[in-house]
Amino acid sequence: MSEHPKSELPAVPSNFIRNIIDEDNRTGKWDGRVETRFPPEPNGYLHYGHAKSICLNFGLAQTYGGECHLRFDDTNPEKEEQEYVDAIIEAVSWLGFDWGKHLYFASDYFETMYQCAVGLIQADKAYVDSLSADDIRAYRGTLTEPGRNSPYRTRGIEENLDLFRRMRDGEFIEGSHVLRAKIDMASPNINLRDPVIYRIRRVAHHRTGDRWCVYPLYTFAHPIEDAIENITHSICTLEFEDQRPFYDWLLAALADIGIFVRPLPQQIEFARLNLTYVVLSKRKLIQLVDEGHVAGWDDPRLPTLVGARRRGFTAEGFRLFAERIGVSKSDAWIDMSVLEECMREHLNDSAERRVAVLDPLKLIITNYPEGHSEACEAPNHPLKPEMGKREMPFGRELWIEREDFMETPIKGFRRLFPDNMVRLRYGYVVKCTGCEKDADGKVTAVLAEYMPDSKSGTPGADNYKVKGNLHWVSVAHGCGAEIRLYDRLFAHPYPGARREGDPEGHERSFLDDLNPDSYRTIRGWLEPALKYTKPEERFQFERHGYFVADRVDSAQGAPVFNRTVTLKDSWVREKG
Ligand code: ATP
Ligand code: MG
């Protein structure tokens, strides 16, 4: 025997962000305070990628006894809507997180942002530029060539203050002037070549209406939002790495003129979630919805959080997923099976078992008295007696799965075929005696005789050694229901990516890779205990997978079930 001590895994795995926070706590930088934020732009529904960011930001706040803000980054007046605000609030709470009193809208800070800009002008760190957009671009230089100063860069402070005020007052047309930070047109980082921080937009804003006709750019607004809210660690995705020098420059400049106090929030970047078999870009999601490739934002196949919820995915599953994939600095792809496995893990643990027959074929037990029925007991969870039991009525006619019978069995088939015995799970052992067929030779019923002394849970049950163990639903008691079988929305791991065999010059669209079999609806038979399922109740249908009662279309006494995920990862085996 080896003498190695058991390795002890920390409860929450460490990562580079936790290391930064730990170090800040060690040095006392923030006096132990940890304040993060999740800052969605309300221009679309949240998707699985956002779940990673939500779990990370709220999770860190929880771990360190801090706070996480929910902040709507609504500084762009064009695409934002109240519908998205409401959906985002619902999705974050559904994931199980609480922002307490920290619900904010960046548009509430427009006046402060404006004053920050004025402060920069007064400190000679910003100027009004009157070049056209094209000229600004041309003056900016390239990655290899430095930019050139705008002829307006040397405008005096008073003139700049006057022009900026008049921009705000609506005296100028769009595009005639912008406000730029005065940094360095020769900087190797293009983001520091006097970035534009305000522009004129004559567009009404969903919250501030017509009050403003100048709007701050995201790169200017975001650091200020963080500083206003006393954020300690401002966590964002990697594409903002090149913006960090400007984030730091701006907050330092504003601290120098006394608008903010040090220490200043620190931007930390992590790799965004890339997941196979879906697309996680708002633009593509909007296209899928608008062009009718899916039934709406909450289509269970769509990787939105409203879609996930309707699909039956759980908040616990997402949190487990976020923990399992961790955070890193390098971009990688996560396989969809990892997410599905997290959902299975949580559902396996929490979902009660039930029986449903999805492709029904009648089984007639010819030696069972007509009109009679009796109760069989079935555990709600095989490993958790505390979850209790339920009664399943047994009778002369039962629904079984069509695939559980073969008139001429293939090798290794252990289920029903003439002369073979199987157990009807939680009920009796039956012996198949034949079948009935229609004129086309299609099997319409299977015939069997039951062994009256073989009932599960009675001493006689052990007298029979059988290999097959089938599920069933009593014809007289079962409940017919619509069942929706969902599968992956895309048939390929990287939708739209070029593949071997594509003709030269062919541009593949992600829409070309839609999975034509991602949705099928059937009618199945449910055991009676399922009849009064409430919307969003989740079950494991034995041998089939996890199912949820649809939260939209289920009615009292008439549930509609969605398949959340199969019991095992069947994707690779069947389709790979
Ligand atoms: P898209 O690129 O699809 O438009 P976005 O990043 O612009 O998404 P936001 O509303 O700005 O959407 O995102 C809010 C937060 O969620 C940001 O902090 C962003 O970094 C984070 N986020 C967005 N997509 C992902 C992802 N795939 N993985 C992790 N975090 C993400
Ligand atoms: Mg964004």
The answer to the question of residue 9 being in a domain is no
CA 441-443-444 angle, to 5 degrees, is: 120
Contacts of 13 (CB under 8 A, 6+ apart): 323, 326
Among 45, 47, 50, which is best to mutate for testing ligand 1, by the most ligand atoms less than 8 A from CB? Answer: 50
Residues 433 and 387 in one domain: yes
- Please tell me the distance between residue 123's alpha carbon and the centre of ligand 1 in angstroms: 34
The answer to the question of residue 256 being in a domain is no
The answer to the question of residue 267 being in a domain is no
Cis? peptide before 379, omega within 30° of 0: no
205 within ligand 1 shell (Cβ under 6 A): no
Point out the ligand 1 atom lying closest to the alpha carbon of residue 42.
10
- Please tell me the distance between residue 267's alpha carbon and the centre of ligand 2 in angstroms: 15
- Please tell me the distance between residue 41's alpha carbon and the centre of ligand 2 in angstroms: 6
First to last CA, the chain: 42
- Please tell me the distance between residue 239's alpha carbon and the centre of ligand 2 in angstroms: 10
Q: What is the CATH number of the domain that holds 213?
A: 3.90.800.10
Which pLDDT score is estimated for 1? Answer: 39
d(C-alpha 463, C-alpha 477), whole Å? 29
Residues 486 and 573 in one domain: yes
Q: What is the CATH number of the domain that holds 291?
A: 2.40.240.10
Residues 498 and 443 in one domain: no
Question: Is 41 a residue of the active site?
Answer: yes
Which pLDDT score is estimated for 116? Answer: 98
Which pLDDT score is estimated for 506? Answer: 82
Q: DSSP state, 573?
A: H
Residues 324 and 401 in one domain: no
What is the maximum alpha-carbon separation in the chain? 102
Which pLDDT score is estimated for 429? Answer: 98
- Please tell me the distance between residue 341's alpha carbon and the centre of ligand 1 in angstroms: 24
Dihedral over Cα of 252, 257, 262, 266: its sign: negative
Residues 339 and 488 in one domain: yes
Q: What are phi and psi of 520, to 5 degrees?
A: -145, 140
The answer to the question of residue 115 being in a domain is no
Catalytic residue among 33, 41, 79, 531: 41
Among 17, 36, 41, 53, which is best to mutate for testing ligand 1, by the most ligand atoms less than 8 A from CB? Answer: 53
d(C-alpha 410, C-alpha 465), whole Å? 21
Question: Is 345 a residue of the active site?
Answer: no
Domain boundary residue among 191, 217, 243?
217
Residues 349 and 360 in one domain: no
Which pLDDT score is estimated for 290? Answer: 96
Among all bound ligands, the one having the nearest atom to the CA of 282 is 1
Residues 325 and 361 in one domain: no
Residues 340 and 381 in one domain: no
The helix (run of H) or strand (run of E) holding residue 379 is strand 373-379
Catalytic residue among 193, 282, 319, 396: 282
Contacts of 38 (CB under 8 A, 6+ apart): 50, 53, 54, 57, 58, 68, 69, 70, 71, 92
Task: Quote the domain boundaries for residue 169.
Answer: 125-217
41 within ligand 1 shell (Cβ under 6 A): yes
Residues 552 and 534 in one domain: yes
468 within ligand 1 shell (Cβ under 6 A): no
The answer to the question of residue 97 being in a domain is no
Residues 321 and 393 in one domain: no
Among all bound ligands, the one having the nearest atom to the CA of 305 is 1
Residue 286 CB-density burial (10 A; 0-12 exposed, 13-18 middle, 19+ buried) = middle
Catalytic residue among 79, 272, 362, 551: 272
Residues 387 and 406 in one domain: yes
Among all bound ligands, the one having the nearest atom to the CA of 333 is 1
Domain boundary residue among 426, 441, 471?
471
Q: How many domains does the chain have?
A: 3
The answer to the question of residue 311 being in a domain is yes
- Whose alpha carbon is nearest atom 23 of ligand 1? 50
Strand order in the sheet with 468-470: 468-470, 421-424, 429-437, 443-450, 360-365, 397-401, 473-474
Single-letter amino acid code for the residue at 439: A
The answer to the question of residue 534 being in a domain is yes
- Please tell me the distance between residue 214's alpha carbon and the centre of ligand 2 in angstroms: 20
Question: Is 211 a residue of the active site?
Answer: no
Among all bound ligands, the one having the nearest atom to the CA of 47 is 1
199 within ligand 1 shell (Cβ under 6 A): no
Residues 350 and 485 in one domain: yes
The answer to the question of residue 384 being in a domain is yes
Task: Kindly report whether the global pTM for this prediction surpasses the value 0.85.
Answer: yes
Domain boundary residue among 168, 183, 217?
217
> And the tokens for 187?
């900087």
pLDDT in tens, the chain (576 residues): 344 444 444 455 679 999 999 999 999 999 999 999 999 999 999 999 999 999 999 999 999 999 999 999 999 988 768 899 999 999 999 999 999 999 999 999 999 999 999 999 999 999 999 999 999 999 999 999 999 999 999 999 999 999 999 999 999 999 999 999 999 999 999 999 999 999 999 999 989 999 999 999 999 999 999 999 999 999 999 999 999 999 999 999 999 999 999 999 999 999 999 999 999 999 999 999 999 999 999 999 999 999 999 999 999 999 999 999 999 999 889 999 999 999 999 999 999 999 999 999 999 999 999 999 999 999 999 999 999 999 999 999 999 999 999 999 999 999 999 999 999 999 999 999 999 999 999 999 999 999 999 999 999 899 999 999 999 999 999 999 999 999 999 999 999 998 888 888 888 999 999 999 999 999 999 999 999 999 999 999 999 999 999 999 999 999 999 999 999 876 554 443
